[in-house]
Amino acid sequence: MKSLIRQPINKLLLFYMLTLPALANASLLVVANVDKPISLSKSEVKAIFMGGATSYDLNAVALTAENKTRAMFNARIIGMTESRIQSYWAQMRFSGRQKPPREFDNEEQLINYLVKHKGAVAYVSSDVELKAGIVILYRSED
């Protein structure tokens, strides 16, 4: 039974090990549909996407766990593995405190959602074409 549980975890670890080096030089953007451009710090971005308190009324949306941009975001901004993030959200849901961000399969879907929803915020790779009305709130190049 334990080997069945480890197999998906091992595949996920392998995925991260293979994709993170390729993403090391990629830039990550946090973008939103807001009326007034704001500049966010790394800690504010983390709070927004992890359900923490912020002074901004932003609704975070995210990519699915299999997406390489999500892996880059988790490593650079959140500083947690996917399994720890999933565990965190399970606890938040169970306690009734928070729900995780709505998830989308790809960055194009994220951008299309942002265009239609004021206050929505997401992370994307820098090579994604931004549409009118979407502004950059944070840029990570580390």
pTM score, two decimals?
0.79
- Residue 12 included in any domain: no
113 vs 9, residue with greater confidence: 113
Does residue 6 register a pLDDT over 60? no
SS3 state at 140 = strand
Mean pLDDT of 23-28: 68
pLDDT at 111 over 60: yes
The CATH number that applies at residue 61 is: 3.40.190.10
Residue 115 within a domain? yes
How many other C-beta atoms can be found within 10 angstroms of the C-beta atom of residue 62? 21
Assess if residue 134 is contained within a domain.
yes
Report if residue 1 sits inside a domain. no
Q: pLDDT-derived band of residue 99, with 50, 70 and 90 as boundaries?
A: confident
Using pLDDT thresholds of 50, 70 and 90, give the confidence band for residue 95: confident
Q: Is the pLDDT of residue 88 over 80?
A: yes
Domain count, the chain: 1
Residue 110 is assigned to a structural domain of this protein: yes
> Which of 64, 80, 51 is CA-nearest to residue 123?
64
Q: Would you say residue 83 lies in a domain?
A: yes
- Rounded to the nearest 10 degrees, the angle between the axes of helix 2-23 and helix 82-95 is 120
- pLDDT (tens digit, 9 = 90+) per residue, 42-86? 999 999 999 887 889 899 999 999 999 999 999 999 999 999 999
Task: Find the domain containing 41 and state its range.
Answer: 27-140
Confidence of residue 37 (pLDDT cuts 50, 70, 90): confident
Whether residue 15 lies inside any domain: the answer is no
User: Is 19 inside a domain boundary?
Assistant: no
- CA gap 58, 10 in Å, rounded: 34
